[in-house]
Chain A
């Protein structure tokens, strides 16, 4: 890992500011327009769309056409099934990731 401590501090501060901005923005901007229909519309439909875009983004270096993508697909399916069954984010994320790590580290799929 080539990331230095000062780079890590900058990283954390950037992430902290982006988080703070999203939490503070409504209090700063929309104090008087909190029930504007356009905001309600975006508030309802934008978050699901963004989560899908973030999922695609997390595979931004994949080609999707080769068999290399099979461990990712299986990992996603394990996460999906676990979450549909128990709805415990911690279990779904940690077990899904552990399963994927097992697949890539043991080269079970060649």
Chain B
């Protein structure tokens, strides 16, 4: 086997665990998305141009609620801010220039990040190409799942009342995952108080932006007082 085909198979083999997760997750997204009434191909298209698992579940909820574009932008930004801090640890591992650099940044999902930081290319192989292929194969699995799910969803008819609950369910799961990394109950209670307080006493429509600003201010104060370390 030539060195380059060896690289392709090695990269593919590396992405198999992610594929086993992405295809069913993509199918779940596609089924939910198709029930909103769009052509099933759009589920696959979203996998191509957005390529973000949690943001696409967010999209189902936002579309079901007919959210405005500013809200869509702000909610996606806040949801994905955790990715910003992933990127910090990859700064020196990505190529400095070129199209592959921008594609790899575009495709930096949670799962791609974990593969890129935990695997090595075969000896003597082109490391940048290896990382690029991992990102590409991951996206292919994701688009495949989204498209299959979109098609499946378009074949079955069911009442979609309550489908917007996919949003709180998603956030509940993410909160548990965050709690495993930062097991500080007082931090979560403080955030809940800020969020509910803003919603009930300040503004429902601007809740996201106002509570976010309040939370950052509170974190800064807490840093000064060394509340959470």
Q: Which residues of A contact B (CB under 8 A)?
A: 1-3, 5, 8, 10-27, 30-31, 34, 38-39, 41-61, 64, 71-72, 75-76, 79-80, 83-84, 89-90, 92-94, 96-97, 100-101, 103-105
Residue B151 lies at the interface, judged by CB distance under 8 Å to chain A: no
Q: Of B174, B190, B199, B200, which one neighbours A51 at CB under 8 angstroms?
A: B174
Total number of A-B contacts with CB less than 8 angstroms?
A: 250
**Least distance between A62 CB and chain B CB atoms (Å):** 9
B77 contacts across to A, CB distance below 8 A: 18, 21-22
Q: State how many residues of chain B have any CB contact under 8 Å with chain A.
A: 92
Q: Are B173 and A79 in contact (CB under 8 A)?
A: yes
Q: Which residues of A contact B51 (CB under 8 A)?
A: 19
Contact assessment for B63 and A3 in the assembled complex, using a CB-CB cutoff below 8 Å = yes
Chain B residues within CB distance 8 Å of chain A: 24-25, 28, 32, 36-38, 42, 45-46, 49-52, 55, 57-59, 61-63, 66, 69, 72-89, 91, 94, 102, 105-106, 108, 159-179, 181-182, 187-188, 190-192, 194-196, 199-200, 204-205, 207-208, 211-212, 215-216, 219, 222-223, 228
Is there an interface contact between A52 and B78, defined as CB atoms closer than 8 Å?
Answer: no
Do residues B168 and A34 form an inter-chain contact, with CB atoms below 8 A? Answer: no
Interface of B is mostly: helix
Chain A to chain B contacts (Cβ below 8 Å), 20 pairs: A1-B38, A8-B38, A18-B76, A19-B50, A26-B91, A49-B187, A57-B195, A57-B211, A58-B167, A60-B204, A60-B205, A75-B168, A79-B169, A89-B177, A97-B165, A97-B166, A97-B169, A100-B169, A101-B159, A105-B161
Contact between A14 and B72 (Cβ–Cβ < 8 Å)? yes
Residues of A within 8 A of B196 (CB): 56, 64
**B84 in contact with A26 (CB, 8 Å):** yes
Docked CA distance A54–B194 (Å):
12
Question: Contact between A13 and B219 (Cβ–Cβ < 8 Å)?
Answer: no
Cβ contacts under 8 Å, A61 to chain B? 204
Interface of A is mostly: helix
Could you tell me if A53 and B191 are in contact, using CB atoms closer than 8 angstroms?
A: yes
* Chain A residues with CB below 8 A from B171, complex form: 51-52, 54-55, 58
Q: Smallest CB-CB separation from B182: which chain A residue? A: A48
Q: Nearest A residue to B64 by beta-carbon distance?
A: A1
